[in-house]
Structure 1
Amino acid sequence: MTYDLVVLTSRAPDVRAIVDSMVHAGETLRVRGAGGGALIQLCDDDGRPLVNIEAAQRVDVEGEVERLLGAEVTAGLTVPYWWVEVRASGGRGDAPALAHRFADAMVERLGGAVWPPVAPGGDEEGGNG
C-alpha cells in the first residue's frame, strides 16, 4: 500500500530546491525520471522506486486546497502557491519517512506546509529528518 502526502510551497519549486530536498531525503538514493518527465523517482540501489515526486501544480484559487485538506493546512499561505504530490512505496518500511524528509526540506527552503504533517509512527509535527 502506498503512502501519499502533499507539499504546499509558498514559492515555485526550482531545480535547486528540488535537488537539495532529494539529497536531504537520502544521499545514497538514486534518481530517475518517469511519466514523460512529470515524475521524479527516488530509488534504492536495485532501482526499486521508494518515493515518487510529481511535478508541481500552481494553486490560484483561494479556498481550493482548504476544501480538500482543511483550513489549518493552508494557514499563512496566500495564492498563488504550489501543490506537489509525493507518494511513498509500500514495499519498504522507511519510504514514508524518506518522503517526509523530502517534503520537510522543500518547506524549509520554500515556505509552506506538509499534509499530513507527520509520517506514520512520527511523534512531532514537521520533525521527520
Structure 2
Amino acid sequence: MTYDVIALTRRTPDPQAIIAGMRAAGDELRVRQTANGAVIQLCDDQGRPLVSLETPVLVQVPGEIDRLLGPGYGDRLGLPVWWIEARAPSGRPEAEALARRFAAELARRLDGLVWPATAQEQP
C-alpha cells in the first residue's frame, strides 16, 4: 500500500517548481528516474525509494476532481487544474512527511491545494 498526496494547482508545474518541491521534501535525498522517466523517485542514502513523483496530468473534465477526491474539491480551484501525485510507502511516517512537504511546496508556488487536506483545510 502507499500513502498518496496530491497537489492540485491552477498554474502549470514547471521544472523550477518541481525542483523546489523536491528540495522542500529534503535536500539530502537522492533522485532517480523509473518507468522510462515518467516517475521520479526521492531515495534515501541506501537507494531505497521514499517518495515517487508521477508526471503531472492536466484535468479539464467537469466533475472529475470531485469524483476522484470527494465533493467540494473541484469547486475550490475550478478547471483546468494540474494533478501532481506523490506516493510514499505506507507505514513510514518520515516518507509520508516528505510527500506532504513536496505537495505543499507545489501548492504554495503554483496556486493550489493539497489532498488529503489537514483538518483546518477541509472543504
Residue correspondences, number: 122
Query: Could you give the per-residue CA deviations for residues 40-74 of structure 1, whole angstroms, max 9, x where no partner exists?
Result: 10000111000001000101112111122123223
Which structure: greater helix fraction?
A: 2
Residue 50 of structure 2: aligned partner:
50
Q: Which runs of 5+ in 2 are unaligned?
A: none
Identity across aligned pairs (percent)? 52
1:53–1:35 CA distance, 2 compared to 1 (3 A): same
TM-score with structure 2 length normalisation? Answer: 0.90
Instruction: Please provide the CA RMSD for this pair.
Output: 1.8
Aligned equivalents of 2:120, 2:108: Cα separation in 1:
16
TM-score with structure 1 length normalisation? Answer: 0.86
Query: Could you give the per-residue CA deviations for residues 11-63 of structure 1, whole angstroms, max 9, x where no partner exists?
Result: 11000000011001111011111111110100001110000010001011121
Matches within 5 A, 1:2-41: 2-41=2-41
Q: Which runs of 5+ in 1 are unaligned?
A: none
Residue 105 of structure 1: aligned partner:
105
Q: Which has the higher contact order (CA 8 A, sep 6+)?
A: 2
